């Protein structure tokens, strides 16, 4: 069943099963993991927020990632206590007038993880983040927990043209997992029904 859902997803490689043919260190259609705080392992993404800021800076430097990730005035405290750790998908086109549903599996401390769908478009002559949907990973459970939420970018920000999924983990310091991420278009009627059900809950 999950394989069929993944096949229909607009988000490629949401189960992290495929390596990038140009760089086998990273999953296809996702950013390069730093290999310490953010690891691609067991066909899932593992984030360890107990790593210190100093060690994260060392790893980002080692991987040649300091143009994207670097903490100024880094300290010996766990990265969970300040910045947390993020991991991004490649960009996905957004259709005007289209609602979407994002689903994923998460494992880790309740409240210590989030999934964002960050949406971008032209604003003041440059590409900017115009809208975002955030899913708070607050369900309790010792194993994998499933999440599903709907969002409608162009209903609120008509200029949105693309989106990226961002996985995020922070406090408490520990290990967090994300897997089986799907992003699918849904009808406006389904969007309205789900929003109404959440509001009445």
- Total domain count for the chain? 1
pLDDT number for residue 1: 35
Residue 180 has pLDDT above 70, yes or no: yes
pTM exceeds cut of 0.75: yes
DSSP-based three-state secondary structure for 174: coil
CB 71 within 8 A of CB 56: yes
Cα-based distances in Å from 18 to 23, 117, 141 = 11, 21, 28
The 3-state secondary structure of 3-55, one letter per residue: HHHHHHCCCCCCCCCCEECCEEEEECCECCCCCCCEEEECCEEEEECCCEHHH
Look at residue 5 in the predicted model and tell me its pLDDT. Answer: 47
* Residue 110: its H or E element: none
Tokens linked to 116: 């964002």
For the stretch 111-160, pLDDT in tens is: 999 999 999 999 888 899 999 999 999 998 889 999 999 999 999 999 99
pLDDT tens-digit profile of 17-62? 999 999 999 999 999 999 999 999 978 999 999 999 999 999 999 9
Residue 127: domain span:
2-200
Report the CATH number that the domain containing residue 62 is assigned in CATH: 2.60.120.260
pLDDT band, residue 169 (cuts 50/70/90)? very high
What is the C-alpha to C-alpha distance for residues 15 and 119, in angstroms, rounded to an integer?
A: 21
- What lies within 8 Å, CB to CB, of 72 at 6+ separation is none
- Note the pLDDT tens digit of each residue in 100-111: 999 999 999 999
pLDDT value of residue 18: 95
């Amino acid at each position: 069943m999950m394989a069929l859902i993944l096949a229909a997803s607009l988000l490629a490689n949401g189960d992290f099963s495929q390596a990038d043919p140009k760089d086998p260190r990273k999953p296809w259609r996702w950013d390069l993991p730093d290999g310490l705080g953010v690891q691609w392992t067991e066909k899932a993404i593992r984030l360890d927020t107990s790593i210190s800021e100093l060690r994260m800076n060392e790893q980002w430097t080692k991987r040649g990632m300091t143009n994207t990730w670097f903490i100024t005035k880094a300290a010996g405290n766990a990265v969970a206590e300040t910045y947390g750790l993020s991991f991004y998908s490649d960009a996905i086109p957004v259709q005007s007038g289209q609602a979407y549903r994002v689903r994923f599996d998460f494992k880790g401390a309740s409240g210590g993880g989030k999934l964002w769908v960050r949406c971008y478009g032209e604003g003041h002559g440059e590409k900017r983040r115009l809208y975002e949907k955030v899913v708070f990973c607050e369900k309790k459970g010792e194993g994998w927990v499933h999440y599903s939420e709907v969002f409608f970018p162009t209903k609120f920000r008509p200029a949105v043209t693309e989106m990226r999924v961002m996985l995020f983990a922070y406090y408490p310091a520990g290990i967090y997992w994300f897997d089986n991420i799907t992003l699918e278009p849904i009808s406006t009627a389904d969007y309205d029904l789900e929003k109404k059900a959440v509001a009445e809950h």
